[in-house]
Structure 1
Amino acid sequence: MTDSHTLSPTAPDHIPTGVPGLDAVLKGGLLPKAVYIIQGGPGEGKTILANQICYAWAAGGERSLYVTLLAETHHRLLRHLQNMSFMDNRFAGTSVVYESAFDTLRTEGLEGILRYLTRNGKRQSASLIVIDGLFALEENAASERAFREFINDLSIYADVVGCTILLLTNSKRDSGCPEFTMVDGWFQLGSDEDKFRTYRYLQVHKFRGSDFIGGRHMSTITSDGFRVFPRLEAVTGELDSAPMRDERLSTGVARLDEIIEGGVPYSSTTLLVGPTGVGKTTLGLSFICESSEAEPGLVFGFYEDAHRLRRRANALGLGLGELIDSGVVEILHHTPTELLQDQLAEEILEAIRRRGVKRLFIDGVDAFKQAAVNEQRLGRFISTLTAILRCEGVTTIFTAELAEIVGGDTGLQFAAVSAIAENIVLLRYAELESRLYRTLAILKMRESGFDPYVYEFHLGAEGFRLGERMQRTEGVVTGQPHRLPPVGRRDA
């Protein structure tokens, strides 16, 4: 980063930015002796992103020079950054120095700015220089050629001195303009609308000297600063499968375990599908309540928080509260509002790896569809997530509430997750002779036999109880149940 660092044979090829998710997109971070353009409109986060990098580098012992070419005072800039958690006042004015070159640009032009950077960068021993206001240099250049020569001189300066330079601009100039062809990297910050919500994104258009993950990656700005959520399917790469085990995990319902030959297979994914209120969550909680210190559990839900799940489990005779209090089970709850699907996946995987989770219950996989900016990604996203879970040795149960399970001649219709769910359990209501029944049928079970019958089940103080198979009925799975006539009757 400084001369002694960059010339060292042990120096890293990439320098971490300290911005969550960005280094994954850049496959390691920024490169030394390079010039990067960060482009975006007003309010897209350029200033926050650049400052976050400065303070991350300061925490690692490096020094930065933040140069503004605008009339905005540094006092105002710093005031807006005070609420950011990355902002460490110990470094402001020491390891991160703010200076204005507004007057220099106005009186001495682009050549004066280059002399200014050479003089002040050396005085500060800066390994990182931020120039906030590249568009001001464009406007003050005598010609397009003069601006092109300035960018070239800046690149030579970065290479000779051994520093990294970030150029921030809100210009709408495109890839045909000389600055984008001459710099080492070009990052775009933007925002777009999906019906009623606005979402942010980061896209790397160019990153010379290194591979990177292209396309749009969703991002957020919070009090913690700028964060990038790389597309899950793009950053996962090759996965090593978990060791195969001839092992079954109990569903928590003894009779159900019997009809699927001992429980759900280890590290498999099971989809519980059915209408609202039929008992999907209760069955999922029964599975989670089989967790132990050797098999920690995690409930990731969208519709019921920990307090409501405790109350429900208590009414069903399940010891969920004790498992939560002992730390064997963790509850993570999100309202299905404006979260991003990659953000949700990151939180799930972080919790799994933090606690070594082996039993996972995701209550409401449909919320991933609500969180998707582009629904065309949903199949690839779910497929990647479940593949990661299998490789982590996690046995997962999802619930899915579908708008239409039966639709005339179209038959059974499931969400994208059904294509990669190894086990599918259908829970339905059936009305027979003016009585409402709850029914369960196994539609699919990975590498396992199962009873191909429809069973009645009950919910109550004893939890989820599976009864006997239903007799002399047809059409329960198709949603058009009816009693068969007694044997020998001809008026059926």
Structure 2
Amino acid sequence: MDETGERCSTGVPGLDQVLHGGFVPGRSYMVSGRPGTGKTILGMHFLLEDPENALYVAFEEREKDIRANAAALGFDLGDVTILDLSPDAESFQSRMHYDVFEPPDVEEDITQHVVEAVDDLRPTRVFVDPLTQLRYFAPDDYQFRTEVAGFMSYLKDSDATVVFTTQPMPNMPDADLEFICDGSMDLGYAAKGRTLTVTKFRGSGFQGGIHTMRITSSGIAVYPELVPTVRSREFDADTMSTGISEMDSLLNGGIERGTVTVISGPSGVGKTTTGSQLMSAAAEHGGRSVIYMFEESTDTFTHRSESIGIPVREMMDAGTLDVVEVEPLAVSSDEFAYMVREEVEEKGTKVVMIDGISGYRLSIRGDDDELVRELHALCRYLRGMGVTTLLVDDVAPITGDFQPTSERISYLGDNILFLRYLELHGEINRAMGVLKMRTSDFERTLREFEIRSDGLHLGDPLTGLQGVLTGTPEYVEDRGE
């Protein structure tokens, strides 16, 4: 397939990426979907890429309604030529009385008006909305397909790139129209919201999958499904210090750049604080970091961090750290992945922290299999870009049987740093340990740690205790005595 030629932009943010650059010029494309899925808005985006050479053939809506709807989205169709062939258009009714002409005569008259408009304007872009309206004027399906094929062939011979919409009905599917076009896409709905799926694209590859689409007050945006790739950005695989010597000892010097670290533990044990300490240390060594807060407000996080001496606000002012508050019920996993890609590819972000997996799970709107699949793709992408990734993972048990991570998440981490509550002498204490490091050895002991007003502190290894992982350890005698 030749993907090196010039492309015709769709005008829709994100869709050109799915189509590997946009439409192939001079070809025809079908956009299918139920009413309200955004087909007409997509067509407006397409026309506004070259409005002075654009023709809008309207079979359903009146011109004044089209322009009013476009204006509500901030679209100026002033330079777009609109051929109003809607059934209730006064100009159309004065030329063609549906109650007088037989359907074949009406169809022929409609085609003639389109031909005249194309010959006069010589457009480079044509949008037909919806093409299936012509079905009502054809005596049978064979005649409809024949006329539509000739119609599309004429438009393509005029060197125009054509986009047409269809509205499938239970008794009138539109699958028979795919044979006349060079590409097709379907707009619909899924658990994650509005979706766009490319089903055919002649002469080029495209990104498959079900992509998230959002309609806003300014039009359509497409968020391509994230596809992990092999390493695509060079980086120095050195070790990033945590900024705390005792934690560095646990981690055999720190965390290797470009790896994924899971910070796990029960609620309130200090996972986010530990993560923010690592982000602070990363900022001191240069490079930009970003924290995505799924479960806490930016103000609360900033206040908590500042109260223990982690200079979050100072780093934000210096541009080395950004804290982004994410509402998981309002953002799909595809939209979130798109946000992360912008940070990494456009702003050069080196460290990403997701706080936390429980909140991120809500954006998936699926089961645990979907969660693992989406997180796997995201982590593979970040690892391939040389980004150091921190995942904050909340595990349910406060004490009792040790659970290093939430279900099926552990394999994602190159490193697993776990936090644990301990009951010692009737007091609640905390411990930190390392369960896994793929790239190096690590300290096998646990260390007690505290969160004080001047930061995070770790103690000496807890070598005189057994049963630490149960949450209720006991002191043991020194076996050397």
TM over 0.5: yes
Deviation at 1:485, TM superposition (A): 4.8
CA distance in 1, matches of 2:167, 2:298: 44
The C-alpha deviation readout for 1:361-418, integer Å capped at 9, x for no partner, is 222133332211444343333223223222332222220112358886x965534442
**1:20 aligns to what?**
13
Task: Confirm or deny: 8 A CA contact 2:265 2:404 kept in the other structure.
Answer: no
2:347 is equivalent to residue 355 of structure 1: yes
Deviation at 1:177, TM superposition (A): 4.5
Residue in structure 2 matching 1:147, options 141, 144, 147: 144
2:198 is equivalent to residue 204 of structure 1: yes
CA distance in 2, matches of 1:325, 1:53: 40
Residue in structure 2 matching 1:129, options 126, 129, 140: 126
State the secondary structure of the residue aligned to 1:109: helix
Residue in structure 2 matching 1:218, options 206, 212, 221: 212
CA distance in 2, matches of 1:11, 1:272: 44
State the secondary structure of the residue aligned to 1:303: coil
Deviation at 1:304, TM superposition (A): 2.5
2:362 is equivalent to residue 395 of structure 1: no
**2:474 aligns to what?**
483
2:57 is equivalent to residue 67 of structure 1: yes
Q: TM-score, normalised by structure 2?
A: 0.88
The C-alpha deviation readout for 1:303-360, integer Å capped at 9, x for no partner, is 2233222211111011111111122211111122231111111101212233322222
State the secondary structure of the residue aligned to 1:82: helix
2:96 is equivalent to residue 99 of structure 1: no
The C-alpha deviation readout for 1:216-258, integer Å capped at 9, x for no partner, is 222111123112222112xx4443363453x211213221012
Matched length: 462
**1:7 aligns to what?**
none
Question: Aligned in 2, Cα 1:405/1:127: closer, same or farther, shift over 3 Å?
Answer: farther
Deviation at 1:11, TM superposition (A): 9.6
CA distance in 2, matches of 1:289, 1:331: 12
Residue in structure 1 matching 2:306, options 314, 322, 335: 314
CA distance in 1, matches of 2:180, 2:398: 56
Amino acid in structure 2 at the alignment position of 1:368:
Y
2:153 is equivalent to residue 156 of structure 1: yes
**1:446 aligns to what?**
438
CA distance in 2, matches of 1:354, 1:182: 39
Greater shift, 19-28 or 107-116, is seen at 107-116
CA distance in 2, matches of 1:386, 1:467: 32
2:279 is equivalent to residue 285 of structure 1: no
Amino acid in structure 2 at the alignment position of 1:380:
R
CA distance in 2, matches of 1:365, 1:118: 57
CA distance in 2, matches of 1:186, 1:146: 22
**1:38 aligns to what?**
31
**2:89 aligns to what?**
none
Greater shift, 250-259 or 337-346, is seen at 250-259
State the secondary structure of the residue aligned to 2:268: coil
Deviation at 1:35, TM superposition (A): 2.1
2:462 is equivalent to residue 470 of structure 1: yes
CA distance in 1, matches of 2:34, 2:276: 47
Q: Which consecutive unaligned segments of at least 5 residues does structure 1 have?
A: 1-9
Task: Confirm or deny: 8 A CA contact 1:175 1:181 kept in the other structure.
Answer: no
CA distance in 2, matches of 1:352, 1:177: 40
CA distance in 1, matches of 2:375, 2:166: 37
State the secondary structure of the residue aligned to 2:272: helix
State the secondary structure of the residue aligned to 2:468: coil
Q: Which consecutive unaligned segments of at least 5 residues does structure 2 have?
A: 87-91
Task: Confirm or deny: 8 A CA contact 1:18 1:57 kept in the other structure.
Answer: no
CA distance in 2, matches of 1:428, 1:384: 29
Task: Confirm or deny: 8 A CA contact 1:405 1:414 kept in the other structure.
Answer: no
2:265 is equivalent to residue 263 of structure 1: no
Task: Confirm or deny: 8 A CA contact 1:241 1:390 kept in the other structure.
Answer: no
Amino acid in structure 1 at the alignment position of 2:54:
S
Amino acid in structure 1 at the alignment position of 2:212:
M
Question: Aligned in 2, Cα 1:69/1:407: closer, same or farther, shift over 3 Å?
Answer: farther
Deviation at 1:43, TM superposition (A): 1.0
State the secondary structure of the residue aligned to 1:111: helix
RMSD, aligned CA: 2.6
CA distance in 2, matches of 1:329, 1:215: 33
2:76 is equivalent to residue 82 of structure 1: no
CA distance in 2, matches of 1:412, 1:320: 28
Deviation at 1:276, TM superposition (A): 1.1
**1:273 aligns to what?**
264
The C-alpha deviation readout for 1:146-200, integer Å capped at 9, x for no partner, is 10111210232123101122221222368785322222222111113x4xxx711
> Mapping of 1:373-392 within 5 angstroms?
373-375=365-367, 376-392=369-385
CA distance in 2, matches of 1:114, 1:296: 58
Task: Confirm or deny: 8 A CA contact 2:32 2:186 kept in the other structure.
Answer: yes
**2:327 aligns to what?**
335
Matched-pair identity in %: 28
State the secondary structure of the residue aligned to 2:199: strand
Amino acid in structure 2 at the alignment position of 1:53:
F
Task: Confirm or deny: 8 A CA contact 2:295 2:359 kept in the other structure.
Answer: no
